[in-house]
Amino acid sequence: MLGRFENPVNPFDSNDRRHPAQDVRRFLLEELRPLRPVVTAAVATTILCASIEVWLIWYAGSLVDTLAASSPQALWAGHGAELLAVAVFVLLGRPLINLGSEALDDIAFRVNARPLVRWRMHRHVSRQSVGWFRDDLAGRIATWVRDGGDAASTAAYSVIHTLVFVVAYIAGSVWLMTAIDPRLLLPLGAWIVGYALLMRWAVPRYRRASERLQDAESELTGLLVDSYANVDTLALLGGQDELTEHDRRVFAAARRAHLGVQRVEVTINSSMLALGSALLVGLVGYGIVLWRADAAPLGLVAAALALSFRITSMAEWLLDAVSALFGSLGVLQRSLRTVAQPLAVADRPGATRLRVHGGAIRFSQVSHHYGRGASGLDRLSLDVAAGERIGLVGRSGAGKSTLVGLLLRFHDAEAGTIAIDGTDITDVTQESLRDQVAMVAQEATLLHRSVRENIAGPSAADDARVEAALRRASAGGFVAALRDAEGRTGLDAHVGERGVRLSGGQRQRIALARAFYRDAPILILDEATSALDSAAEAAIHETLAEVMAGRTVIAIAHRLSTIAHLDRIVVLDAGRIAEQGTHAELLHHGGLYADLWSRQSGGFLGTAHVS
Ligand SMILES: Nc1ncnc2c1ncn2[C@@H]1O[C@H](COP(=O)(O)OP(=O)(O)OP(=O)(O)O)[C@@H](O)[C@H]1O
């Protein structure tokens, strides 16, 4: 039966490309829209449940009066049918209505709201540019996506499940008191005012404390993910004591933030209990006073007693819900600040697919300083002819990676334009751009997926082509012998997080195979062969020479020997082109390149040679 409630929507259906709202209320309204029918039904059944509870208390009071007024013999004759009907309703009707309400709230809504929001956040974040991810810690971003979905679901659940119930219950109680004796509203009214004041004091504090806690927790997750993912770097850094000290500070900050939340919670809970006790004494005491003055029946005192117990226990529940609500609103707000940022690099409306005829690239007055006003690239202009192979060299930090990152639109240039075959790359879709520009990076990292997916991407792959690409990258042999922990072999074997189960050279060969598979007209090589041993490198160089033919190539190299034979060498310095020409011309010129070359061939890298 519960199955009917489980799948009111498919949470993973959305391929919404709109930018999610940064305002919490708008975000919830927009993103939970698919669950609107569930919410409407849940609110209606919750109100029904609350009304039944209030009615039961009223009925208990009136039953006391009925019992007091009638003789045991006359009870069945006068009230038998009514009592039976109420008993049947309490035994069958009430549990069924409650089941419906719980199933709507806890299954239909809760189980779907969380993945719905997480999926939407994940889809949006996945479309962020590479540059956007580099500005934050992956672990922190992951925490915001996971916790943001959780917070959105908890906030909405607190409203539809608890707040609606309590508000309906209190409204019912006010109505009941008015019906019995409006003077009873006095203690209840005083309690409501006291409760509202407590909330006013507590809620903003609770919200701030939860935001701080969430920040500290995400910092902690960021630290853990960063430390575990880079355990080798940590080991090499040494200084375990200083590292531990830094870790301890982050752990301690999380504890302090937790303490802040608990402090507010303890204050709230004890104030709640005091308020609840005042209500109990007020309602029952006032009821007794009225009863003694013959101004109210006995049933009134019974109902007042039951009501005050119920309201006080519910008030704690309400407070938990309000705390959960505002706590999760705080978390969601914090999460949206990161997750709902507009796309740092977005496709223009109406962006077309990039069509490449020859693969000519033109950088015109391109500047990019990472928003800092200095470093990066500075008004750089460069023309790369179709089919030309250029080597990009320069000291560390000269701007080589920035240049290729801008070509791939990891960032959008702050000024200037980049065009491929005359088309501005900001006018085309990023997907089509990256279809045409293949890159083999120095730090070849792989996804923890199968070798096949790492080469061909998530779409259905052509195995024969994947294998051909592997052979060309001299990777056929070791891939055939791969076997992962789950027994998958060859192309199906998973490579470990970031490819850690493979050696650096093997990872690089897979990355090369990826470029061969893509067969893109423009190829970027970022020290493409740095992690290979000399035998493998020699083999790959032959293949690279073959794959470069007929393509436009930009090859970044620190080892100048690997690019000395290319058509042109462009030397960058401080974000600008310092000089350019063939190897021979640049050596003859005697500038920066000649200087770098003489250092490398003059013993620093004694094995350097022109291949
Ligand atoms: N994400 C970033 N945010 C801020 N500054 C950056 C970022 N990436 C690079 N930079 C800065 O831009 C400048 C150029 O860096 P870039 O990585 O392009 O140099 P590079 O020539 O590729 O260096 P290397 O040879 O060491 O890889 C450097 O000063 C660097 O600090």
- Which pLDDT tens digit goes with each residue over 275-313? 888 888 888 888 888 888 887 777 777 777 777 777 777
Percent of the chain with pLDDT over 90: 34
3-state secondary structure 301-333: HHHHHHHHHHHHHHHHHHHHHHHHHHHHHHHHH
Which range is most confident: 2-11, 82-91, 547-556, 590-599? 82-91
Distance CA 580, CA 591 (A): 10
What is the chain's alpha carbon radius of gyration, rounded to the nearest angstrom? 35
**pLDDT for 551 beyond 70:** yes
Percent of the chain with pLDDT over 70: 92
Could you tell me if 502 and 510 are in contact, meaning their C-beta atoms sit under 8 angstroms apart?
A: yes
pLDDT at 257: 94
569 pairs with which residues across the strands?
A: 391, 581
Q: Is 417 in the pocket of ligand 1 (CB under 6 A)?
A: no
Tell which residue, 368, 386, 385, has the closest CA to residue 377: 368
Of the pLDDT bands very low, low, confident and very high (cuts 50, 70, 90), residue 530 is low
Q: Retrieve residue 328's tokens.
A: 């999760």
Q: Retrieve residue 193's tokens.
A: 């005012």
- Least confident range of 140-154, 264-278, 394-408: 264-278
Q: Is 375 in the pocket of ligand 1 (CB under 6 A)?
A: yes
Whose CA is closest to atom 10 on ligand 1?
376
Ligand 1 centre to CA of 398 (Å) is 7
Nearest atom within ligand 1 for CA of residue 401 = 22
Sheet of strand 389-394, all strands in order from the earlier edge strand to the far edge: 437-440, 522-526, 552-556, 389-394, 568-573, 576-581
Q: Which residues contact 421 (CB under 8 A, 6 or more apart)?
A: 355, 356, 357, 358, 359, 360, 386
User: Residue-wise over 349-385: b if at least 16 C-beta within 10 A, else e?
Assistant: eebeebebebbbbbbbebebeeeeeeebbbebebebe
Of the two residues 558 and 240, the one the predictor is more confident about is 558
Q: Is 394 in the pocket of ligand 1 (CB under 6 A)?
A: yes
455 C-beta neighbours (distance < 10 Å), count: 27
**pLDDT for 582 beyond 70:** yes
Could you tell me if 314 and 166 are in contact, meaning their C-beta atoms sit under 8 angstroms apart?
A: yes
Could you tell me if 217 and 177 are in contact, meaning their C-beta atoms sit under 8 angstroms apart?
A: no
Across residues 28-57, what is the average pLDDT? 93
Tell me: the pLDDT tens digits for 480-499?
888 888 888 888 888 776 66
Tell me: the pLDDT tens digits for 223-244?
888 888 777 777 766 666 667 7
Whose CA is closest to atom 12 on ligand 1?
376
Ligand 1 centre to CA of 373 (Å) is 13
Tell me: the pLDDT tens digits for 12-26?
876 777 889 999 999
Tell me: the pLDDT tens digits for 373-386?
778 899 999 999 99
Whose CA is closest to atom 30 on ligand 1?
397
Tell me: the pLDDT tens digits for 402-425?
999 999 999 999 999 999 999 999
Nearest atom within ligand 1 for CA of residue 442 = 27
Q: Is 483 in the pocket of ligand 1 (CB under 6 A)?
A: no
Of the two residues 507 and 250, the one the predictor is more confident about is 250
Tell me: the pLDDT tens digits for 165-202?
888 988 888 887 787 778 778 888 888 899 889 888 88
**pLDDT for 164 beyond 60:** yes
Whose CA is closest to atom 16 on ligand 1?
399
Q: Is 73 in the pocket of ligand 1 (CB under 6 A)?
A: no
448 C-beta neighbours (distance < 10 Å), count: 15
Q: Retrieve residue 336's tokens.
A: 């949206």
Residue from 134, 135, 370, 525 to probe ligand 1 pocket by mutation (most atoms less than 8 Å from CB): 370
- Least confident range of 207-221, 350-364, 455-469: 455-469
Across residues 501-505, what is the average pLDDT? 75
Tell me: the pLDDT tens digits for 49-101?
999 998 998 888 888 888 888 877 777 877 888 899 999 999 999 999 999 99
Of the pLDDT bands very low, low, confident and very high (cuts 50, 70, 90), residue 606 is very low
Of the pLDDT bands very low, low, confident and very high (cuts 50, 70, 90), residue 529 is low
Ligand 1 centre to CA of 376 (Å) is 6
Q: Is 396 in the pocket of ligand 1 (CB under 6 A)?
A: yes
pLDDT at 554: 94
Structural domains of the chain sorted by starting position, each given as residue range(s) with its CATH number in brackets: 15-339 (1.20.1560.10), 361-604 (3.40.50.300)
Of the two residues 559 and 52, the one the predictor is more confident about is 52
Q: Is 130 in the pocket of ligand 1 (CB under 6 A)?
A: no
Whose CA is closest to atom 8 on ligand 1?
402
Whose CA is closest to atom 28 on ligand 1?
397
Give the CA-trace dihedral at 75, 77, 78, 81, to 10 degrees: 100
